[in-house]
Chains A and B, each alone.
Chain A
Amino acid sequence: MNNFEYLRPTTIPEAVAAASVPGAAYLAAGTNLVDLMKGGVVRPSRLVDVGRLPGLTDIEHLPDGGLRIGALIRNAELAHDEGFARRFPSVAEALLSGASGQLRNAATVGGNLLQRTRCAYFYDTASACNKRDPGAGCDAVGGETRTHAVLGWSPSCIATHPSDFCVPLVAMDAVVEVEGSNGRRDVTLEDFHRLPGTSPEQESVLEPGELIVAVRLPPSAAEFASHARYLKVRDRTSYAFAVVSAAAALRMEGGRIAEARIALGGVALKPWRARAAEAVLVGALPDPALFRGAAGVALVDAKPSGDNEFKIELARRIVTRALILAAAGTPSRMPALPASPFAAPDGASQHG
């Protein structure tokens, strides 16, 4: 890799100042960034290591009932935090379905949100990629596209955002706290990642130098705890990115659905919140046919970006099943294979 400057600031303002220059990148655990650097995919001239910044490693239960997760909390630590997993079980399940034990022990909350796409053409520096090299073109189009996007893509970029964690988070109205040279601001996770449009190189709404300091879950998120699931279909049983995934959560009142939350992963360049589908469910009794209808609404705008039409029907089926699972109730214990169709929670039948 190229020679680069390595800085380890001790305060957030210092970090922000150091990272505001062109060519600078924040380094958290490096499980994504260092891989990309080794492959020559990104070549930052300055690394600003945020690993030892103070105040970013707490899980705080806020007075209003919300929760604030420091940006440097490790994925595994968060998933195994009992208080957290009990109140936000689908988020814990999503975290535990991602990557491998070793990676989860290292990967941070902030890094997970900002991990780059797994599009093979993005990783392959010999291919044209608008994300890597704005205006260069997109070699994924017309290439090997089985796992590319079916929602929100543009001819400029058909990649997906690979995070599992972000999917239930966006369903739960999570908010990202960022700090830049002009101080702190809040961005909803739903607005945090950008769709490609004509400028796929702009992946998030962060301004140069802005640092993720925390992710907040509002008090309402915990109201879904007893009916919240994450489901992830993948090409092997573990240690694989989602082909398609879905988070579903229901707030039940007297046997009826008072409120529903649905989000999809692996389908678009951002975690995909399906608000119109949620609306279909409000006030209804849980019912597989209804869920199937909602899943249809979630995918109405879907279209294949290549040889991936199957993902649309797969996504409908996953949303339907995730809703069935959520309606059946959160399992009392984390399944041995979190988010897997092979999880078999509490021995209950989940298949038609």
Chain B
Amino acid sequence: MVEMTSIQGQTHTRQGSSIGQPLTRMDGVLKVTGAARYAADHHPAGMLYAVMAVSSIARGRVASLDVAAAMAHPGVVQVMTPGNAPKLAEDPDAKTNPFMFRMDLLQNDGVRYPNQPIAVVIADTLESATEGAALLAPAYVTEPARVGLDGNASFAPPAVGVGNPAEMHRGDVDAGLKGAALRMDATYETPAQYHNPMEPHAIVATWDGDTLSIDTPSQGLAMAQGRLAGLFGIAPEGIHIRSPFLGGGFGCKGLLSGPQVLGVMAARLVDRPVKLVLRREQMYGPVGHRAPTRQTVRLGAASDGALTAVSHHAKTASSTFDDFFEPAADTAHTVYASPAIATSHEAVRLDTGTPLFMRAPGEATGSIAMESAIDEMAHACGMDPLAFRLKNYSDVEPISGKPFSSKALRECYAQGAARFGWATRPLAPRQMRDEAGLLVGWGMGTATFPALMFQGHARAVLRSDGTGVMETGAHDMGQGAWTALAQIAADGLGLEQDQVEFRAGSSDLPDAGIAGGSAHTATAGMAIHGAGADVIAKLADLAMDDQRSPLFGAGNTGVIARSGRLHRRDDEGRSESYGDILARAGLTEIEGRGASASDPAAQSAYAMHAHGAVFAEVKVDPEFGQIRVTRLVGAFAAGKIINPRMVQSQYYGGMIWGVSFALHEEALTDRRSGRIMNQNLAEYHVPVNADIPSVEAILVEEHDPHVNALGIKGVGEIGITGTAGAIANAVWHATGIRVREFPITLDRLMG
């Protein structure tokens, strides 16, 4: 049983049994039966199909398009080009807030990356539109593409990630390195990776005068609404976006992308509802990607293994026309204790789409380098990698010196190591073989991810029939937000799960912030919690002020809300049902509101992060270098666990992405043209079932009194961190070969 304290005061308490239960997905049956309608499943009457034509060059301009040929194709209704694209109220290259990124919306004939939209063909059928787009046969004026991290002049970016300083330091790294008994200096490279959710970006847009109705997947409904309002010069309230289900988001649906806006423009141009769905290969450009990095880590250690200096320098790439810099060096701020820490970034501008958020941006790239480097240093010190990490365990956040709001990383190490059987690991590499003669290696990595919170809102209603409603514009990317948030709603209202109607995924509901930064459960959850407190307080006031109520006069001690009844705190035998209270007051329902935001006082006092430890076993064929991750054990501490089943799935998914990062994913970019040559799911490899024979995630108990009243940290991204490094370290332990260029492919291990 979970007890929750109202954030408005200590007067009333709510108790429920939903939080903590491993409920299955509320929307599971809808999904497995196909009844869940995703954006592209909508077909309003009169709808036309739009297909983008995209650029096959990286840089230059479109010299001509054969619009006549496309228009002549049967079924083609219109071809949208810079010549006839609807005028926009705002320049799509304008930036008025840090979450605005530039879009290519057919405003000119310029080409600044491969797969940039250059026209949209609108037709009666998908087939006609597709062929119409092919018939455009663009001619280009091509300029040489700037490809790869050495492809252009490098510079120091003004900021990285979302407004993080590009450089930070504490203590004197040079002195720390100079005074070290052991030093290591190594450079690691990670490739560009592209978003491949099952559901590509899709939009169905319908205009009615100046109001706009949209079905499209979104991790940030209110921001999408605001962006469209700005671009089309209409009121946000006139835009209704429905996004009940996403077929995966991972960051690429956080901000509205250019192609989605093109769907809205196409609908305006033809004055009919329009559907636009990206083809798989069109995902490789206009919707963000994970930037490539080249990271140099320098470590110094005393002879007992204590770090004396940590220096992490990351080179990354952004597009030529916008700024997003993967904050890869920043993980050095939060994990290992050292008297001296320095992090810095540099960047180049390449002819690619703008890189953006991809699951654990900065942490994923940074952690594979740092965890590899830590492993190399442990080896240099002759220490077990876990013992080395424990030696450098930090009880305060290394860069800031702030205490952690909570940090159960020691327990993660201990439980993960025990479950994995780490204790018997030989120190030297290339010592273990299986019965078939395959090389076996064990490696580990530390996982961290910040515990963030954005601003969110919710609305709660209690009805005289004893049921409740909770509304918030939250987003379920497939991870189970419908279910976890409904659990918080039930407990927040003191009702059983089946008495609460939970509404989310629509822009006409209260703004639930953005489903990103692993902050959605905390953000939407705390808003829900607050709305529940508010409506219960109003209900309690009704009862406590009413002489006919058994709760009359309970004001000083307060009430406990449980299973649809309010109980006097000082005498729980005296209670009254919600329905009776409302009925007596002559009300059919009563409403409460909640808002959430991080607490600035707690933020300045504490460092807030989730932590974890991942242990990996790999097998490597000694002659072929082919690798298989045969076992993964992760142990994670992330505060209060709302739904252990969903959380475990999040960890599994993150860890599997870690396998992908370490061994598979890579955008194979032609060195001359800058075009991505494997922009399909046959050749852009992600793990398949046979690559993941065994994955376990341990939920380590952690109570955090500071992050928020419910004690929730995020779980969405942390699984990928630590895992990729653990696998790289296991590959080294199996083979004795340290591969510093990812993904680790078999040719790099053939010896």
Seen from chain A, the residues whose Cβ lies within 8 Å of a Cβ on chain B are 1-3, 40, 100, 118, 120-121, 123-127, 139, 142-144, 146, 233-240, 243, 310, 313-314, 317-318, 321, 337, 341-342, 344, 347-352
Q: Are A236 and B436 in contact (CB under 8 A)?
A: no
Q: A238 is contacted by which of B621, B691, B746 (Cβ under 8 Å)? A: B691
Docked complex Cα distance between A27 and B588 (Å): 65
Looking at A120, A243, A310, A349, the one whose CB has the most chain B CB atoms below 10 A away is: A120
A190 to chain B, nearest CB (A): 26
Q: Are A310 and B623 in contact (CB under 8 A)?
A: no
Q: Are B624 and A233 in contact (CB under 8 A)?
A: yes
Q: B671 is contacted by which of A143, A337, A351 (Cβ under 8 Å)? A: A143
Docked complex Cα distance between A167 and B127 (Å): 37
* Given contact pairs A1-B127, A342-B628, A120 touches B677 in the complex (Cβ within 8 A): yes
B677: chain A residues at CB < 8 Å are 120-121, 124, 143-144
Q: Does B170 sit at the interface, judged by CB under 8 A?
A: no
Q: Does B703 sit at the interface, judged by CB under 8 A?
A: no
Q: B435 is contacted by which of A120, A143, A234, A349 (Cβ under 8 Å)? A: A349
A336 to chain B, nearest CB (A): 9
Contact residues, B591-625 vs A (CB, 8 A): 619, 621-624
A239: chain B residues at CB < 8 Å are 688, 690
Q: Does B683 sit at the interface, judged by CB under 8 A?
A: yes
Q: Does B670 sit at the interface, judged by CB under 8 A?
A: yes
Q: Are A352 and B130 in contact (CB under 8 A)?
A: no
Q: Is the interface of A mostly helix, strand, loop or mixed?
A: loop
Docked complex Cα distance between A144 and B670 (Å): 6
Closest chain A residue, CB of each to CB of B748: A310
* Given contact pairs A120-B683, A342-B438, A344-B436, A236 touches B672 in the complex (Cβ within 8 A): no
A127: chain B residues at CB < 8 Å are 670, 673, 675
Q: Are B745 and A235 in contact (CB under 8 A)?
A: yes
B127: chain A residues at CB < 8 Å are 1
Closest chain B residue, CB of each to CB of A43: B134
Docked complex Cα distance between A313 and B690 (Å): 26
Q: CB-CB contacts of B419-448 with A at 8 A, as 1s and 0s? A: 000000000000001111110000000000
A45 to chain B, nearest CB (A): 13
Q: CB-CB contacts of B683-724 with A at 8 A, as 1s and 0s? A: 101011111000000000000000000000000000000000
A240: chain B residues at CB < 8 Å are 685
Closest chain B residue, CB of each to CB of A337: B690
Contact residues, B315-357 vs A (CB, 8 A): none
Known: A1-B134, A144-B677, A349-B436. 14 other contacts (CB 8 A): A120-B683, A124-B677, A125-B56, A139-B673, A233-B624, A236-B690, A237-B688, A239-B688, A341-B438, A341-B624, A342-B438, A344-B438, A351-B437, A351-B623
Q: Are A352 and B623 in contact (CB under 8 A)?
A: yes
Contact residues, B103-146 vs A (CB, 8 A): 127, 130-131, 134
Can you give 16 contacting A-B residue pairs, CB < 8 Å? Answer: A1-B131, A2-B134, A3-B131, A118-B682, A118-B683, A120-B677, A120-B683, A144-B669, A236-B663, A238-B691, A240-B685, A341-B624, A342-B626, A349-B436, A351-B433, A352-B622
* Given contact pairs A143-B671, A235-B746, A238-B688, A350 touches B436 in the complex (Cβ within 8 A): yes
Q: Are A317 and B683 in contact (CB under 8 A)?
A: no
Closest chain B residue, CB of each to CB of A125: B56
A342: chain B residues at CB < 8 Å are 438, 619, 621, 626, 628
Q: Are B624 and A350 in contact (CB under 8 A)?
A: no
Q: B670 is contacted by which of A143, A233, A237 (Cβ under 8 Å)? A: A143
Q: Does B152 sit at the interface, judged by CB under 8 A?
A: no
Docked complex Cα distance between A281 and B471 (Å): 76
Docked complex Cα distance between A139 and B674 (Å): 13
B390: chain A residues at CB < 8 Å are none
A348 to chain B, nearest CB (A): 7
Docked complex Cα distance between A124 and B134 (Å): 13
* Given contact pairs A120-B678, A143-B670, A351-B623, A237 touches B437 in the complex (Cβ within 8 A): no
Looking at B621, B668, B669, the one whose CB has the most chain A CB atoms below 10 A away is: B621
Q: Are B675 and A146 in contact (CB under 8 A)?
A: no
Q: CB-CB contacts of B527-545 with A at 8 A, as 1s and 0s? A: 0000000000000000000
Looking at B57, B130, B131, B626, the one whose CB has the most chain A CB atoms below 10 A away is: B626
B663: chain A residues at CB < 8 Å are 236
A143: chain B residues at CB < 8 Å are 670-672, 677
Docked complex Cα distance between A274 and B376 (Å): 44
Closest chain A residue, CB of each to CB of B133: A40
Closest chain B residue, CB of each to CB of A307: B747
Docked complex Cα distance between A317 and B619 (Å): 18
B622: chain A residues at CB < 8 Å are 351-352
Q: Are A237 and B678 in contact (CB under 8 A)?
A: no
Docked complex Cα distance between A208 and B623 (Å): 44
B746: chain A residues at CB < 8 Å are 233, 235, 243, 314
Closest chain B residue, CB of each to CB of A121: B677
B675: chain A residues at CB < 8 Å are 124, 126-127
Q: Does B63 sit at the interface, judged by CB under 8 A?
A: no
Q: Does B664 sit at the interface, judged by CB under 8 A?
A: yes
Docked complex Cα distance between A118 and B438 (Å): 30
Q: Does B750 sit at the interface, judged by CB under 8 A?
A: yes
Contact residues, B644-679 vs A (CB, 8 A): 663-664, 668-673, 675, 677-678
Looking at A118, A240, A321, the one whose CB has the most chain B CB atoms below 10 A away is: A240
A238: chain B residues at CB < 8 Å are 688-691
Q: Are B747 and A314 in contact (CB under 8 A)?
A: yes
Q: Are A351 and B685 in contact (CB under 8 A)?
A: no
Closest chain B residue, CB of each to CB of A233: B624
Docked complex Cα distance between A233 and B628 (Å): 12
* Given contact pairs A120-B678, A317-B624, A347-B436, A146 touches B687 in the complex (Cβ within 8 A): no
Contact residues, B463-493 vs A (CB, 8 A): none
Q: Are B750 and A310 in contact (CB under 8 A)?
A: yes
A139: chain B residues at CB < 8 Å are 670, 673
B685: chain A residues at CB < 8 Å are 235-236, 240
Q: B626 is contacted by which of A123, A233, A310 (Cβ under 8 Å)? A: A233
A314: chain B residues at CB < 8 Å are 624, 746-747, 750
Docked complex Cα distance between A125 and B137 (Å): 11
Q: Are A236 and B687 in contact (CB under 8 A)?
A: yes
Counting from the closest, the 9 A-B pairs by CB-CB distance are A351-B437, A126-B56, A238-B690, A237-B690, A120-B677, A344-B436, A341-B621, A310-B747, A349-B437
